[in-house]
Amino acid sequence: MPHPSRTPKALGLAVTAVLGLTLAAPPALAGPAADPDPVPALVAGRDTAAPQLVTGLAEAAPGSPGEAARAHLAAHPERYRIDPGQLTEVGTGRTAEGRHTVRFQQYHGGVPVLGGQYLVRLTGEGAGQRVESAGGKYFTGLTAPTTPAVPDPVLRGLALGSLTDPRARAGATAEDHGLVVLPGGTGRLTRHFTVRGTDRAGGQPTTREVYVDATVGGIALAHDARAPYQAGARPATAAAAAPALEPATGTAPDAYGRTVKVNTARLPDGSHQLVDLTRPASITTYDAAGRDLLDFIDGLPADLRPAASPTSDFPAATGADGATDAHLNAGIVYDFYRDRLGREGLDGKGSPIVSLVGVTNDGAPIMNATWDGTMMSYGGGGPQYHSFAVALDIAGHEMTHGVIDHTAGLVNAGQTGAMNEALADYFGNAVEVTARGVSMTDPKAALFGEAVCRTGTPEACAGRRLDDRRTTVDDYLGTDLSLDSGGVHLNSTIFSGALWDIRRTLDPLTADRLVYRALADYLTPLDDFVDGRNAVLAAGRSMNLSPTQLRSVAAAFDAHGIRAGWESRLGTDSRPLVRAIPTSMAAPAVAGGRWVMGNSTGTGDPALYTGSTTAPGTPTRLSPEDGRRHSWAATDGQSAAWLAVGPDAEGRFGMEVLTRSLAGGPVRSLFASRTEQLAEVRISGGDIAFLVEDWESGRTTVRLSRDGAPPVELPLPDGHRPSGLTLRDGVLGWSEQWTAGEREMSAATVRSLTTGRVTARYESAGTVSSTVLAGGRLLWVETPAGPAARSAIRSGALDGSGVVDVLPADSPYAQVTAAITASDQAVTFQAVISRDEGGKPAGGWTNAALPKLWQLPLTGGTPVRVSCNRGGQYEAAADRGTRVLWLDATTGRTDLVVRDRPAGRC
């Protein structure tokens, strides 16, 4: 049950909802509220011609389930639009009632497609076998290449570079999972890595699933893995490794000090281990007894043995560390799935179950529990908390993540990840109330994780409650993937609340079977809330629920706002320019009423677009169609300059600075390199400036081209590192960092391109960043050295004659969290006002705690809100006057939006 964590945001790289398709809803599918049949007969796919769901079939399908399912799809090309040659059967499940579900994985030219799974459900046997329904995600528009253009070491380097925090990057590893095509438009060839850092700041090492674009470089998708520990390594299992184990029983203290009976294994020397051999799957529990988490980064250490005792009577530490409770709870959860739902273990095949307790972070208990892809790990223990292993609902939650990994495989990001968390909470709660005999009408029945505290009431201790009545329209937390992997925990009770209501309305056993059937036989890895609703309803129809029962299921989803098109019912005060941006590289630039932005909306190929900030209309493509990614753009309102990244005409990976008039005309190349990183392209009139970093030495220089001439390097003092370029009307500004003796120094610098001289250098012992030329002055963000320092906005005259505070460091608003942007009239910044010094929200994780945009006059004043949109606001770009464009995540997808003047107070 990991608590939300915030991962640092890559500077200059929008970590937005990269899989827009998983977050967008089709407004056209919103049905009338009084629909007499709540189970849809047909749900169209999004971003694909293949349907998401087809129900109500009864078509004969002879043969083995796999052959029958494949033949059925092949026999109806008009209905399904699926090429069966691109499908590989990955699993066939058989229910107690004799139904079969065949799950197929989609491949594109031999490369698996993330979330491309299609299921066919059959009833009956032999000649009576019929296809009852089918559905999932099969992406019909994929034309992406299937051979990487970027060399593997570069891809690995990019993956490691996605850890923006240098503390996490030191000693980090990248485990290569091979090529994966990301869906969306024409698709995107990536290489998938699990990146593990060693930073302890979050109480556990950083682990990220990172998909690096294998055609043009760049991070295509990165989200939190659930795993703090190695996901790929199979833990050693005592049962398999030691055949001399003999089933036995013993006694052990539990976390409350009570003596309980435990199933054990007796070794030849008469000692006992916490290995339960009474089920088809062995259940083994390890006690790390305080060992450090870094010992476990590659899986269970080879010298670790299951929790042991010289006699059948286990010592006190076994209870205090949580080993006894982890051991018992694993058995209870196993039995719940087997007895109630007919499932043998987490993988359905009775593979060994492993739990781990007692891992610490630098000696301190880890206040969390996790499923890492192979085992459960429970932290905690101390004066305030028991080991997290005491909570049966938490054990059920973590083990259900294991079940989900072996069924729907829901990706841990955004709405999909929130549904993953919701299902884990639902079954965790169901296991606990069932095993403890708690009625669904008991006021405490909805509490989650309430057993871990040593003091205080269950209500105060519970991490979540499934009866919190949250809805999409009122409560959906609109954040990008930098917070809680897109709100996977923060939005989960919207969905789990609907499931919990269903459990209260139907009888609990029917509800558990219904939700399990949706999980095992309907859901696919990129499904969202509305897909989840349809899956549960279709599962209900297949289980022959009555029309009344089905209507109550639909009503529960309605009550939580989970209906097609809910995103469009959220109130916003901005004007959308581009909706549902499916790229991680979208950061708008704007000037003179024209915006430019790299985006892959529509066709799915990575191109640069331009449009008007005032007149609606279809964006115009600026970049050539050459198979490269075009983004990182700048504009002066007349022309754009940008970076093209990918294989050049000779097929070699490189980067190039291109420029073109916004009105069209030829694309001109200004500079190309295969050995250097290009960044921060800026344009003003005939001047174009950019940064060049040598990949080998790391040395960064400023290059300038005037009137189309070849770029020249501008002189900088030795060891000075430039960043944050700004260019306007013959003046170039930047920030530079250098080391003076022991001290890190920083300055905001101005250079006249006419005279070639530096006209101002404002030095600081803090950190200067994000410079902007506006209103005849240079503005910058200045963060004083030291902990809990606030970032102020300052401005200096271009001739070096003086500095003023625009936003003083002692202002309550001086919490600038991203690059500033300015017109000649106003400066706009991103800030999170309602958080304490540790970065935690003062009033809890609500939309109010997400980054918002603020604006104030260039001459200073009290900042006002740019927009009252309730979700996260990112990547602001100032146009003329007070007009600002930004990426808005309110709806759970990312839109490019604009406002002409600030909203003021919200």
Say how many CA atoms lie within 13 Å of 118 toward its Cβ: 31
Within 706-725, the residues that bind Zn ion by CB under 5 A are none
Instruction: Kindly tell me which of 334 and 371 has the beta carbon lying closer to Zn ion.
Output: 371
Closest separation in Å from C-beta 484 to Zn ion: 11
Closest CA to 525 of 89, 141, 116: 116
What does each C-alpha distance from 2 to 49, 471, 687 come to in angstroms?
37, 22, 50
What does each C-alpha distance from 181 to 80, 147, 190, 194, 213 come to in angstroms?
21, 11, 6, 16, 9
Instruction: Kindly tell me which of 424 and 511 has the beta carbon lying closer to Zn ion.
Output: 424
Closest separation in Å from C-beta 399 to Zn ion: 11
Closest separation in Å from C-beta 884 to Zn ion: 37
Segment lying near Zn ion (by CB under 5 A), choices 240-248, 417-425, 518-526, 821-829 = 417-425
**How big is the chain by its Cα radius of gyration, in Å?**
29
Query: What is the token pair recorded at 628?
Result: 């490269």
Instruction: Kindly tell me which of 322 and 724 has the beta carbon lying closer to Zn ion.
Output: 322
Query: What is the token pair recorded at 716?
Result: 């900088």
Closest separation in Å from C-beta 412 to Zn ion: 9
Q: Are 17 and 893 in contact (CB under 8 A)?
A: yes
Closest separation in Å from C-beta 356 to Zn ion: 16
Instruction: Kindly tell me which of 421 and 879 has the beta carbon lying closer to Zn ion.
Output: 421
Say how many CA atoms lie within 13 Å of 525 toward its Cβ: 19
DSSP at 505: H
Closest separation in Å from C-beta 427 to Zn ion: 11
Instruction: Kindly tell me which of 496 and 894 has the beta carbon lying closer to Zn ion.
Output: 496
Site mask, Zn ion, residues 474-493, x = CB under 5 A? --------------------
Site mask, Zn ion, residues 371-410, x = CB under 5 A? ----------------------------------------
Instruction: Kindly tell me which of 421 and 656 has the beta carbon lying closer to Zn ion.
Output: 421
Instruction: Kindly tell me which of 325 and 421 has the beta carbon lying closer to Zn ion.
Output: 421
Q: How far is residue 39's CA from residue 608's CA, in Å, rounded to a whole number? A: 42
**3-class DSSP assignment, residue 349:** coil
Closest separation in Å from C-beta 371 to Zn ion: 7
Closest separation in Å from C-beta 420 to Zn ion: 7
Instruction: Kindly tell me which of 4 and 91 has the beta carbon lying closer to Zn ion.
Output: 4
Closest separation in Å from C-beta 421 to Zn ion: 5
- Report CA torsion sign: 2, 4, 5, 9: positive
Q: H/E element holding 693? A: strand 687-694
Segment lying near Zn ion (by CB under 5 A), choices 62-70, 159-167, 198-206, 416-424 = 416-424
Length of the chain in residues, anyone?
Answer: 906
For helices 529-542 and 492-505, give the axis angle rounded to 10 degrees.
20
Instruction: Kindly tell me which of 367 and 858 has the beta carbon lying closer to Zn ion.
Output: 367
The gap from C-alpha 405 to its chain's centroid, in whole angstroms, comes to: 16
For helices 508-521 and 414-436, give the axis angle rounded to 10 degrees.
150
> Would you call 244 exposed, middle or buried from its count of C-beta atoms within 10 A (0-12, 13-18, 19+)?
exposed
Closest separation in Å from C-beta 230 to Zn ion: 18
**DSSP output for 570-613:** S---SEEEE-S---TT---EEETTEEEEEE-TTT-S-EEEEEES
Closest separation in Å from C-beta 123 to Zn ion: 33
Closest separation in Å from C-beta 370 to Zn ion: 8
Closest separation in Å from C-beta 786 to Zn ion: 36
Within 418-437, the residues that bind Zn ion by CB under 5 A are 421, 424
For residue 134, how many other CB atoms are within 10 A of its CB? 27
Q: How far is residue 333's CA from residue 326's CA, in Å, rounded to a whole number? A: 10
What is the side-by-side strand order in the sheet with 272-273? 246-253, 259-266, 272-273, 308-309
Strands (E), 33-129: 42-43, 53-54, 59-60, 87-94, 100-108, 111-123
Q: What are the two backbone dihedrals, phi and then psi, of residue 725, each rounded to the nearest 5 degrees? A: -65, 145
Instruction: Tell me, by CB under 5 A, how many residues bind Zn ion.
Output: 2
Instruction: Kindly tell me which of 421 and 450 has the beta carbon lying closer to Zn ion.
Output: 421
Instruction: Kindly tell me which of 464 and 628 has the beta carbon lying closer to Zn ion.
Output: 464
Closest separation in Å from C-beta 397 to Zn ion: 6
Instruction: Kindly tell me which of 320 and 389 has the beta carbon lying closer to Zn ion.
Output: 389
Instruction: Kindly tell me which of 20 and 380 has the beta carbon lying closer to Zn ion.
Output: 380
Instruction: Kindly tell me which of 213 and 421 has the beta carbon lying closer to Zn ion.
Output: 421
What does each C-alpha distance from 796 to 714, 805, 856 come to in angstroms?
22, 9, 17
Q: How far is residue 279's CA from residue 263's CA, in Å, rounded to a whole number? A: 11
Q: Are 681 and 657 in contact (CB under 8 A)?
A: yes
Closest separation in Å from C-beta 1 to Zn ion: 6
Q: H/E element holding 329? A: helix 323-335
For 774-833, the three-class secondary structure string (H helix, E strand, C coil) is ECCEEEEEEECCCCCCCEEEEEEECCCCCEEEEECCCCCCCEECCCCEECCCEEEEEECC
Instruction: Kindly tell me which of 276 and 528 has the beta carbon lying closer to Zn ion.
Output: 528
Closest separation in Å from C-beta 423 to Zn ion: 9
Q: How far is residue 859's CA from residue 878's CA, in Å, rounded to a whole number? A: 16
Closest CA to 782 of 801, 759, 810, 757: 810
Closest separation in Å from C-beta 835 to Zn ion: 24
Instruction: Kindly tell me which of 424 and 431 has the beta carbon lying closer to Zn ion.
Output: 424
Closest separation in Å from C-beta 400 to Zn ion: 8
Q: How far is residue 46's CA from residue 62's CA, in Å, rounded to a whole number? A: 31
Instruction: Kindly tell me which of 329 and 659 has the beta carbon lying closer to Zn ion.
Output: 329
Segment lying near Zn ion (by CB under 5 A), choices 414-422, 563-571, 652-660, 787-795 = 414-422
Instruction: Kindly tell me which of 483 and 814 has the beta carbon lying closer to Zn ion.
Output: 483
> Would you call 76 exposed, middle or buried from its count of C-beta atoms within 10 A (0-12, 13-18, 19+)?
middle
**DSSP output for 733-777:** EEEEEEEETTEEEEEEEEEETTT--EEEEEEESSEEEEEEEETTE
Query: What is the token pair recorded at 73?
Result: 């799809």
Interaction site with Zn ion (CB under 5 A): 421, 424
